């Protein structure tokens, strides 16, 4: 059995996460038992939600245990199997964590899923045709409930969730506006992802300035907003929401360092009779097959062309993750292991 390199959570961050919160170790891979498979990970998924799990504050998910492999999505290949459900060579996705190999019980529901890489690259099953894509689908379809001709806005527009949101929103006939950081990301959003407009939040020092830009990009106001960021961006969007608008609250990356995020205009939720709903996509597994089918078709037909930021080697994972939290990634952040 191969030697397995792993990244553990060594200590919890106080404030901003740093590289020394993590530890790289090597361990022996245990022998397979009946019903188990050995997966060689090709890609690790890095996602903002992982920052919340590094802390032990009350949250929707249990904290990441100290001294154990960082939890996270993986895509790879079965290299050995003691289960009739999987054969060596099968391409699979699961939650193998920040390590090169994982031993998985094939009988555990949802632990491992075979994927077809004929038309969709393996790495996209961690992004557009995986958890981030389904997140965009659920927030748009089930919470925002768009109608053709309405205006949709998404923050972190060029990330894995935002890029999928654009394709899904445009497919439903909506004007779709992104908020992203930097001219390159905004250009990519419009020219490749199909956004009708994209606003560079880095050009705006406060919510009032950002709201003016939103007024120009959304002359008919905003009917649906998908929130990944919080803070000043949410304040600016609330000022432009139409009556009976819907907000799907998925992430609050502006507050992941533990600093308070006061809301400047909470009365607007009442004034405009807004629906604001937080959600965790793993609690809605019943929609995954429908969502993945649509997302796979969008990627396979070229209507969704997601970009990826790829770090090389497991030792690069911590710095790549810290960069993701600061918006240094361009598209879905992955670590390539093979």
For the CA atoms of 169, 172, 173, 178, what is the dihedral angle to 10 degrees? 0
* Per-residue pLDDT, 251: 84
Do 99 and 161 sit in the same domain of this protein? Answer: no
Task: Give pLDDT, residue 248.
Answer: 98
Q: Are residues 254 and 322 in the same domain?
A: no
For residue 319, how many C-alpha atoms fall within 13 Å in the half-sphere facing its CB? 7
On whether both 266 and 135 belong to a single domain, the answer is: yes
Beta strands in 46-125 (DSSP E): 74-81, 91-94, 101-105, 112-114
The strand pair at 151-155 and 175-180 is best described as parallel
What is the extent of the structural domain holding 35? Answer: 3-127+307-336
Query: Looking at the structure, do residues 44 and 176 belong to the same domain, yes or no?
Result: no
Average of per-residue pLDDT across 177-191: 96
**Quick check: is 300 in a domain?**
no
198-236 per-position pLDDT tens digit: 999 999 999 999 999 999 999 999 999 999 988 999 999
The band of 62, judged by pLDDT with boundaries at 50, 70 and 90, is: confident
- What CATH code is carried by the domain that includes residue 89? 3.90.180.10
pLDDT bracket for residue 99 (50, 70, 90):
very high
Residue 256: predicted pLDDT: 67
Residues 161 and 173 in one domain: yes
CATH of the domain at 230: 3.40.50.720
| Same-domain status, 116 and 153 | no
What pLDDT, on a 0 to 100 scale, did the predictor assign at position 318? 98
Q: Which residue spans within the chain are E strands per DSSP? A: 3-9, 22-28, 36-45, 74-81, 91-94, 101-105, 112-114, 151-155, 175-180, 197-200, 222-227, 241-249, 275-278, 308-312, 332-336
222 and 144 together in one domain:
yes
Query: Do both 188 and 245 map to the same domain?
Result: yes
Long-range own/partner contacts, residues 258-267 (CB < 8 A, 24 or more apart): 258/15, 258/55, 258/57, 261/230, 261/231, 263/234, 263/235, 263/238, 264/207, 264/235, 264/238, 265/235, 265/238, 265/239
CA torsion sign for 97, 163, 224, 284 is negative
How confident is the model over 14-44, as pLDDT tens digits?
Answer: 888 999 999 999 999 999 999 999 999 999 9
Give alpha helix (H) positions in 239-287. 267-271
* pLDDT tens digits, one per residue of 266-315: 999 999 999 999 999 989 999 999 999 999 999 989 999 889 999 999 99
**Count: domains in the chain:** 2
Residue 149 has pLDDT above 90, yes or no: yes
Cα dihedral 251, 47, 213, 195 sign: negative
> Do residue 272 and residue 147 come from a single domain?
yes
């Amino acid at each position: 059995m191969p030697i397995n390199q792993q990244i553990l959570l060594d200590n919890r961050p106080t404030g901003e996460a740093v590289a020394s919160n993590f530890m790289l170790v090597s361990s022996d891979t245990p022998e397979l038992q009946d019903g188990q498979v050995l997966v060689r990970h090709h890609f690790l998924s890095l996602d903002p939600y992982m920052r919340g799990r590094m802390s032990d504050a009350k949250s929707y998910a249990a904290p990441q245990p100290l001294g154990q492999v960082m939890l996270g999505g993986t895509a790879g290949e079965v290299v050995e199997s003691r289960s009739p459900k999987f054969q060596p060579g099968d391409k699979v996705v699961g939650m193998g964590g920040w390590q090169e190999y994982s031993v998985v019980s094939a009988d555990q529901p949802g632990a491992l899923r075979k994927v077809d890489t004929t038309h969709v690259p393996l790495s996209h099953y961690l992004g557009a045709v995986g958890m981030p894509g389904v997140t965009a689908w659920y927030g748009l379809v089930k919470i925002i409930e768009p109608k053709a001709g309405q205006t949709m806005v998404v923050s972190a527009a060029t990330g894995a969730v935002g890029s999928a949101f654009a394709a899904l929103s445009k497919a439903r006939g909506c004007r779709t506006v992104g908020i992203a950081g930097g001219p390159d990301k905004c250009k990519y959003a419009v020219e490749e992802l199909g956004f009708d407009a994209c606003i560079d939040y880095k050009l705006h020092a406060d919510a009032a300035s950002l709201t003016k830009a939103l007024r120009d990009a959304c002359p008919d106001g905003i009917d649906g907003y998908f929130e990944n960021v919080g803070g000043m961006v949410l304040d600016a969007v609330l000022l432009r929401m139409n009556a009976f608008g819907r907000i799907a609250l998925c992430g609050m990356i502006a507050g992941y360092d533990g600093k308070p995020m006061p809301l400047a205009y909470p009365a607007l939720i009442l004034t405009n009779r807004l629906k604001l709903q937080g959600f965790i996509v793993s609690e809605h597994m019943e929609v995954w097959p429908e969502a993945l089918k649509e997302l796979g078709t969008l990627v396979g037909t070229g209507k969704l062309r997601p970009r990826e930021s790829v770090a090389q080697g497991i030792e690069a994972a911590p710095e790549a993750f810290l960069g993701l939290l600061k918006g240094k990634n361009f598209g879905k952040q992955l670590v390539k292991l093979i």
